[in-house]
């Protein structure tokens, strides 16, 4: 039995259209203990939204809804029984909080990396209708795998003669490249581009020599392979 057939149809009909409009914010989790389980796509976040089970209370069908954060004023979790209309309202509010967290600039964000990434995202804007639903095709995945392998080799060379702090920063980029490789066949086009632009943004901050090796020298080929599928 597929996972979707373990979820009441009314839930899918109510929530799936909302999910489709917000795929850049969330990730689906297979969870045998919940009917429905989504998490913040930010891997450093512990925000989630779950529908644990359903029950009839006071002659009305309700759903045990467990989510984090509770609201703008409270980042703790909350579990409560809700009717379907309330579930939808809570879900929309929860997604709104994720979007606001992503957009707000704080002292915890590196403004240079954030600005660099925004520029790269504009340059590599995926306009494919299925960018939020599907992965890159196999030739694109193979191309990216080779690109990321070569990138790691270049970074190893770039570490030579660097300060301890610079080596640590280059190692962070190297680890990001490894992690992207692991997810090439599992994540959507837009998510992979998001990961790549973050990697490039960090490389640019480290210096022109770094970004030339990591991005500039292959930018035309990247654009051709990823944006046109050539």
Q: Is it the case that residue 14 has pLDDT exceeding 60? A: yes
Helices 84-103 and 9-20, axial angle in degrees (round to 10): 20
pLDDT score, position 68: 97
pLDDT score, position 229: 57
CA torsion sign, 218 to 223 to 224 to 225?
positive
Give the H or E element holding residue 50.
strand 48-57
Average pLDDT over residues 70-81: 94
For 87-119, what is each residue's pLDDT tens digit?
A: 999 999 999 999 999 888 777 778 899 899 999
Q: How far is it, in rounded angstroms, from Cα 28 to Cα 113?
A: 28
Q: Is 211 in a helix, a strand, or coil?
A: helix
For 133-176, what is each residue's pLDDT tens digit?
A: 899 999 999 999 999 999 999 999 999 999 999 999 999 999 99
Q: How far is it, in rounded angstroms, from Cα 40 to Cα 73?
A: 18
**φ, ψ (nearest 5 deg) of residue 95:** -60, -40
Neighbour-count burial of 70, counting CB atoms closer than 10 A to its CB (0-12 exposed, 13-18 middle, 19+ buried): middle
Percent of the chain's residues with pLDDT above 90? 73
Average pLDDT over residues 6-25: 90
For 27-40, what is each residue's pLDDT tens digit?
A: 888 888 899 899 99
Average pLDDT over residues 2-27: 88
Give the H or E element holding residue 173.
helix 164-183
Task: Identify the CA nearest to 26 among candidates 187, 205, 138.
Answer: 187
For 197-230, what is each residue's pLDDT tens digit?
A: 999 999 999 999 999 999 999 999 999 999 865 5
Q: Is it the case that residue 50 has pLDDT exceeding 80? A: yes
Give the H or E element holding residue 22.
none
Please list the residues that pair with 80 across neighbouring strands. 65
Please list the residues that pair with 27 across neighbouring strands. 39
């Amino acid at each position: 039995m597929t996972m979707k057939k373990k979820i009441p149809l009314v839930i899918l009909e109510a929530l799936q259209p909302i999910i489709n409009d917000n795929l850049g914010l969330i990730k689906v989790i297979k969870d045998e203990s919940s009917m429905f389980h989504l998490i913040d796509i930010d891997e450093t976040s512990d925000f989630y939204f779950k529908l644990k089970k359903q029950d009839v209370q006071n002659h009305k069908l309700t759903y045990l809804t467990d989510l984090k954060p509770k609201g703008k004023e409270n980042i703790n979790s909350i579990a409560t029984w809700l009717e379907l209309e309330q579930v939808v309202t809570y879900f929309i509010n929860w997604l709104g909080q994720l979007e606001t967290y992503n957009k707000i600039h704080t002292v915890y964000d590196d403004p240079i990396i954030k600005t660099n990434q925004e520029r790269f995202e504009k340059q590599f804007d995926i306009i494919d209708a299925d960018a939020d639903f599907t992965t890159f095709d196999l030739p694109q995945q193979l191309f990216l795998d080779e690109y990321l392998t070569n990138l790691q080799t270049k970074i190893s060379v770039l570490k030579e003669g660097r300060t301890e702090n610079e080596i640590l920063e280059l190692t962070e980029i190297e680890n990001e490249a490894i992690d992207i490789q692991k997810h090439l066949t599992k994540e959507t086009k837009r998510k992979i581009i998001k990961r790549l632009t973050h990697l490039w943004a960090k490389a640019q901050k480290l210096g022109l020599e770094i970004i030339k090796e990591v991005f500039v020298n292959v930018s035309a080929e990247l654009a051709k392979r990823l944006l046109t599928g050539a």
